[in-house]
Homo-oligomer: A and B are copies of this chain.
């Protein structure tokens, strides 16, 4: 596919902002907002962030979602995007249509407009970047550093599906299609979550590195300790079934280290707990309270039996086991 055709047929139709001049100029006007806005960028690289065999449509969706997730976790709704495509010379027209189909579907789903980008054919692997501008739902973006002692710890959706999907043995793929799908296309929370986070959260991140690792970012930036309970970690029915039948090679606590969940993880004062619960109910967004913020440092995990677990040789063990 010629660059001109790619831009005219597959990229320019994603522009819904007059200031981008239909991508016919060297720049776009930078969108203006009444309140605060944020900007973020993420790159996906073949054989690093996705597998060569993954459907390209889902790679396009994942590219949008990993950036959307960053905005939502800060209390901002994604609005505009710039797309950098480095396409291997060997890509067929259909493959280009596939990846752009995924980008297009998700930009539309999240009500975003493309406003710029750059496209290159290259002798290298597929490398795609997206830069996203989001508008804060209320006030300033919610940072990692505001967690206060006494805060509740909340997480959206479920944890671990994507990590299990990535690790599914080929023979299990047809038995657990939802887990593979969660790996291919992360199920980020509905954009409404930005409103909840901006209104109520003291600190927030998205779960990309793993729930414990990302919670560690919050406690380190905030100078506090977090205690979470394994039994409160939300998992999907599919993950539950998988853990039940997988002959004990994986346990629920392993899900906390997987990453790529792209859910929002935030802390909020205990006083707003009822408001958050009723907000979640009204907006039909799954929110789970998984722990609390305490004085100290680090992240502690309480096992299903209420006893503390800690990481030994990369796995969680009862503290008394050491």
Contacts and interface: CB of A to CB of B under 8 A. Distances in A.
Interface in A25-49: 25-30, 33, 36-43, 45-49
Chain A interface secondary structure, helix, strand, loop or mixed? strand
Interface string A179-218: 0000000000000000000000000011000000000000
Nearest to A71: B27
Interface string A61-76: 0000000001101101
- Most chain B CB within a 10 A radius of its CB, from A39, A123, A131: A39
A24 B221 contact: yes
- Most chain B CB within a 10 A radius of its CB, from A26, A48, A74, A125: A26
Contacts of A71: 27
Contacts of A42: 118
A118 B43 contact: yes
A46 B124 CA distance: 8
A140 to B, nearest CB: 7
B140 A29 contact: yes
A84 interface: yes
B28 A120 contact: no
A239 interface: no
Contacts of A39: 27-30, 82, 115-116
- Most chain B CB within a 10 A radius of its CB, from A43, A133, A134, A221: A43
B86 A45 contact: yes
Interface string A103-145: 0000000000001111011111101010101100000110110
Contact of A26 (B40, B47, B131, B140): B40
A124 B30 contact: no
Interface in A46-102: 46-49, 70-71, 73-74, 76, 82, 84, 86
A21 interface: yes
Contact of A84 (B43, B76, B115): B43
A82 B41 contact: yes
Contacts of A118: 41-43, 129
Given A43-B86, A84-B43, A118-B43, A27 B74 contact: yes
A144 B41 contact: no
Given A41-B116, A131-B41, A27 B70 contact: yes
Nearest to A21: B143
- Most chain B CB within a 10 A radius of its CB, from A118, A134, A141: A118
Given A26-B40, A125-B125, 9 more contacts: A21-B143, A26-B74, A27-B40, A28-B40, A41-B116, A41-B118, A42-B118, A48-B122, A124-B127
12 contacts: A25-B144, A28-B39, A28-B40, A39-B116, A43-B86, A47-B123, A47-B124, A48-B123, A82-B131, A127-B127, A129-B129, A131-B131
